[in-house]
Amino acid sequence: MKSPLDRGFFSRDNAKKFAQLSGKSLRSGMASRIVGPWDWIILPAILAVAATVVLGTPFQPFGLQLPEPVWPLVLAFAWPLIRPSYFAPIVLGLLGLFLDFYWSVPAGFYTLNLMLIYGVLILARAYVAGQDWRVVFGAWLGVQL
């Protein structure tokens, strides 16, 4: 008996026919681009700084104040779970120093918080990574509180 993926639309015969019609090989759709430090660490850090500056402007549309989220907190949660590295804590420390000076809080406040979150998630990575989205969202809520 054929497996469910070998029947119907997903069969290898249909994939070969589609590849012949489109003029591509079966493996041409796979990603071959390597994600380096620029894509994974530096660009998101620059975007977090830009989002912090944009949402930190004293602009009140319709009399409402813009939210002031701590965007590097998203990076402190994502980097240890998805792809831990030695360079990420250094960038988080620099982002924390930026937030300290930008929001005029005592030096080290945001840096310490971001480092604590990163450290806790490095330790909990084995338990959180690969779980259902509800578990990951619960861990994210726990970090937020």
Span 50-68, pLDDT tens digits = 999 998 888 888 888 877 7
pLDDT at 23: 58
Span 1-11, pLDDT tens digits = 555 555 555 55
Q: What is the DSSP string of 64-124?
A: PPPP---THHHHHHHHHHH---SHHHHHHHHHHHHHHHHTT--TTHHHHHHHHHHHHHHHH
pLDDT at 143: 77
For residues 77-91, give the mean pLDDT: 90
Q: What is the Cα–Cα distance from 54 to 72, expressed in whole angstroms?
A: 14
CB atoms within 10 A of CB 2: 8
pLDDT at 83: 84
